[in-house]
Amino acid sequence: MNGQDTTKPTKRLNSAAIMELVYEWLRMIPKVNKFFLEQEAKIKTDKLLKYAETVESDAAVAANQPKSA
């Protein structure tokens, strides 16, 4: 799965696709427990979604502010 495929055309984030992408990325670490990887993938996915939410809200706030000269 490609990183760009994790977002839909409407720019809504697909958490399952993001988690799968993060999990596959973490699997590159040798000799790590599968359950640990799943847990870390979930934690990192939650952080990414929270970050995306804050960026989206900041962009909305910036779009509503009048431009100063």
Between vectors from CA 2 to CA 12 and to CA 57, what angle results, nearest 5°?
25
Residue-level pLDDT at 9: 46
Residue-level pLDDT at 38: 94
Contacts of residue 45, Cβ cutoff 8 Å, sequence gap at least 6: 15, 18, 19, 22
47 or 64, higher pLDDT? 47
Residue-level pLDDT at 58: 82
For the whole prediction, is pTM greater than 0.75? no
Q: What is the pLDDT of residues 2-50, one digit of tens each?
A: 555 555 444 566 888 889 999 999 999 999 999 999 999 999 999 998 9
